[in-house]
Every structure is written in structure tokens, then in C-alpha cells.
Amino acid sequence: MSTLATVPALQPARLEETLRRFAALSEPGPGVSRLAYTRLERQAHDLFASLLAELGIAAYTDAAGNTIGELAPDAEPRPGAIGTGSHLDSVPHGGAYDGTVGVVAALAVAAAASAGPRPRHRPWRFVAFAAEEGARFGQACNGSRIVAGLTGAADLRQLTDRTGTTMAAAMTECGLAPERVETARWDPRDWRAFVELHVEQGTVLEHRRVPVGVVDTVSGSTRLRVCLTGVASHTGGTPMDNRRDALAAAAECVLDCERLAVAATDVNTRITVGALTVEPGAITIIPGRVVFTVDVRETDYGRQRAAAHAVGQRCRTVAARRGVDVEVEELADTPPVSLSREVAAVAHAAATALGLPAEVLASGASHDTQQISRLMPAGIVFVPSRGGLSHSPGEFSTADQVAAGAAVLLETMYRLDATA
Ligand code: HGY
Ligand code: MN
Ligand code: MN
């Protein structure tokens, strides 16, 4: 790798140390648990702001909980800021890299850029988005959806976690201002481009032994909550031909979801039941009520909607045959997006200039940049994930892989800065 490897801020050991500091801000393990709009997420944002402050970069937190720092240009100014960053919340017992790698790399870029000597013609913004994971409230990318004007104050009062706490209440509890999130919106005229570094959360780069990925398409996701209501009754006294077993019906629905995805014509159709609750949940009671979530992913919106519709239909057919009531609720729906070819080309050229092979690929996971791409040209650079594992304590990327990604990110930012 070129001279960038000599940049102190990009050294693997330093990046790994910062990753460890963020990973320590977690509920008890295994893995990292730092859910959206919790005290721990805010502590992570405070750490981000303090690390920027050490570089002389003042950061502010907006009404939605996004934390943003800006480095002013030091050369002939050009209109429109460029930005980089990612999210600091995690799924329960997730990994130390999902989101955090992009924030740590943004800090390294801020350190390298503020040290110079290369000129900067645009404001450079460093962003930690709030509440990117849908694990708690169902909807993903909330902080970035808010800045993109896709989620407003009214929505925050509708989204609830499994305890019934609304997102608005959780935000208020964290000292944020859900009723003022409109003030957090970004003006596209104020921006030139945005680029995010993220772990791949898949196996393409590892299998092809390529250190850098450049994303062309980010999958969309439709998220459903299915409630099946049967009759809770005695497991001994109730004959098999006189049951309305909600869990047996759910089990059939879960397998049908898998069958729909496996039978789909496109490998990017992915359907998963990730959470399921059973009531009353006792060994001697036939389950009366089951609630489960369905996550439908696709790189083509037509297929995504068709797959989500097919899931609902299958659940209704199974429920009708088994005499069980069914409700299918849509929790969130985000279309797939094709990211900016311009930013992808700049990132690819940056990797090449550093002597790093780069591969263009789709992202199965959703990302904040998916929302930001509605406001400005935006791109995502991937680093490999060991075994493709993510949303798991086993999530891992080597320090050298993270350092290579951060170097590509820095070079990409300088190239975007230099564009017209
Ligand atoms: O769910 C996702 O794809 C992302 O990790 N929020
Ligand atoms: Mn992520
Ligand atoms: Mn994630």
C-alpha cells in the first residue's frame, strides 16, 4: 500500500484501539449490545464528539441524535460539503464492527485531513447517525431517514419497541427532541457527496480475496409483523383434531417464508423470520398466540413487494386452513437503491491508486447511505467480514483490513473534494 500507510491516523493498531473503546460501551456480552436511543448509544456519540474535539473539530448533536463535526476548507473554497460516517448503535449481542468501523474510519480521516498537508476545498463533515439498526423499533436508518426528510415527528410516536415504548419517548429519555426533528433535515444544496465505510456483512470479498468492495446497489427491505391467534388449551385434554394451535401454524408459516426465498428466481431475495414470541408459553398449554417478524430483502423493488405480498398470502392461507386468526402488519418498507456511479468510480479509482484491488458488489444489508443517496451523490466502501458473519459476536475484520478501508476512504474524500 502507498505512502498513506505512513499516515499515523490510519495505523491498524490505532484504529483497533478506537474500535475497542467503542466496543466497551455495551450491555453485558456476548458481543456488543448498544441499542437505538439508549444511554449507551448516547455515550458512544459522546465519545465520537470528544475524539473529534481532540482534533480541534467541534461537533453538535441534532434533535434526532445524529452527531456531526465539520472541518473547514483550507484552500480555494468550492461549494458543497463532502461527508463520511456511519452509525454507532448495534443489534442485541452484535459485533464490534457493524457501523462502528465507518465512524472510526471517519475519525481517522478527520485526523489525517486536519494534519494536512493536502489542500481541502470543501467543508468535510464527519457523521455518527443515530438509530440505524431496526432491531429495537423495526424501522432501520432512523437518524439518516430524519435528515433525508423521510421520517418526521409523527412517525416517531408510532414506532414502538417490544415493551410498547415509542421511539419518541426513547429519544426524549435520551435528552433528544423528537418533536423538533424537522430541524435536523439536511439541505441538499449544502452538500456535494457522501461516502460510508462499512463491513460487508457477507462473504463475497473474502471468497474472492479482494480487500475492498465498492457498492453499486443496496438491497431494500420490507419488514412485517405477523400475529397468529388460536386457542390456548390443555395439552392433555385437547384432542389433536380439536386444536387451533398458533405455534404449529406459525411453524408452517416460517418454513413457507424460507421456501418462498429459496424458490425465488433471484439470489438476492432473502426472507427471514428473526423474532418469534409464544403465548402463554407454558409446557402444558397449547400456544394461543404467536407473533413473529419477517424481514424481506431484495435488490429489485418489484420483486421485494411481490415477495412481501406472497408472505402475507401464505400466512393467511395457513391460518385459514388451521382455523387460526391472522394479522399481517407492515412495520417498515425501504426500496433498494442504486448508488451514485460517480462516487463508486471515485472510490474504485482511489483503491486502485493505493494498489488495492476493488470489487463492485451489491449490499444485502441496508445502510444510512441508502437514505442519504436521496439527497446527494453517495457511495459505500466495504471491507471484508470474516466468514461473512455480522449481527453476531463473531463479527470480525482484521486491523489491516480496516486500515486499508480507511486509506481508501481518505483518498476517496480527497478526490471528491477535488471534483468540480
Ligand atoms: O438491517 C440491516 O440491514 C442493517 O444492519 N441495519
Ligand atoms: Mn450497519
Ligand atoms: Mn447492522
Residues 250 and 79: their CA atoms lie apart, in Å, by 55
Ligand nearest to the CA of 139: 1
| pLDDT at position 2 | 45
Q: What is the DSSP letter of 235?
A: T
Has domain 3-218+336-418 been given CATH number 3.40.50.300?
A: no
List the chain pLDDT tens, one digit each, 420 residues.
Answer: 444 557 888 999 999 999 999 999 999 999 999 999 999 999 999 999 999 999 999 999 999 999 999 999 999 999 999 999 999 999 999 999 999 999 999 999 999 999 989 999 999 999 999 999 999 999 999 999 999 999 999 999 999 999 999 999 999 999 999 999 999 999 999 999 999 999 999 999 999 999 999 999 999 999 999 999 999 999 999 999 999 999 999 999 999 999 999 999 888 899 999 999 999 999 999 999 999 999 999 999 999 999 999 999 999 999 999 999 999 999 999 999 999 999 999 999 999 999 999 999 999 999 999 999 999 999 999 999 999 999 999 999 999 999 999 999 999 999 999 998
Residues of the chain with CATH 3.40.630.10: 3-218+336-418
The b/e string for 237-261 (b: 16+ C-beta within 10 A; e otherwise) is ebeeeebbbbbbbbbbbbebbeebb
Question: How far, in Å, CA of 347 to CA of 405, rounded?
Answer: 10
In the prediction, which pLDDT does 4 show? 56
166 DSSP 8-state letter: B
| Domain limits, CATH 3.30.70.360, in the chain | 220-334
Residue whose CA is at the smallest distance from ligand 1 atom 6: 133
Ligand 1 pocket test, candidate residues 97, 132, 395, most atoms within 8 A of CB: 132
Q: Which residues surround ligand 3, an ion (CB under 5 A)?
A: 98
Residue to mutate, 367, 389, 390, ligand 1, most ligand atoms under 8 Å from C-beta: 367
Q: State the distance from the centre of ligand 1 to the C-alpha of 382, rounded, in angstroms.
A: 14
Which pLDDT value is given to residue 386?
Answer: 98
- What is the CATH topology of the domain spanning 220-334? Alpha-Beta Plaits (3.30.70)
What's the CA-to-centroid distance between 149 and ligand 1, angstroms? Answer: 20
**Ligand (nearest to CA of 100):** 2
Query: Looking at ligand 1, which atom is closest to the CA of residue 87?
Result: 6
Nearest CA to ligand 1 atom 4: 366
Strands in 257-404 per DSSP E: 270-279, 285-286, 289-298, 325-334, 337-338, 358-363, 378-383
Please tell me the predicted confidence (pLDDT) of residue 9: 86
In this prediction, residue 266 carries a pLDDT of: 84
Residue 148 grid cell? 433525508
| pTM for the full predicted model | 0.93
Pocket perturbation via mutation, ligand 1, pick of 366, 369, 371, 382 by most ligand atoms within 8 A of CB: 366
CA–CA dist 364, 132 (Å, integer): 15
Instruction: Give ligand 1 pocket residues (Cβ under 6 A).
Output: 132-134, 140, 365-366
Q: What is the pLDDT of residue 5?
A: 58
Which of 137, 33, 171, 128 lies closest to 90 in space, CA to CA?
33
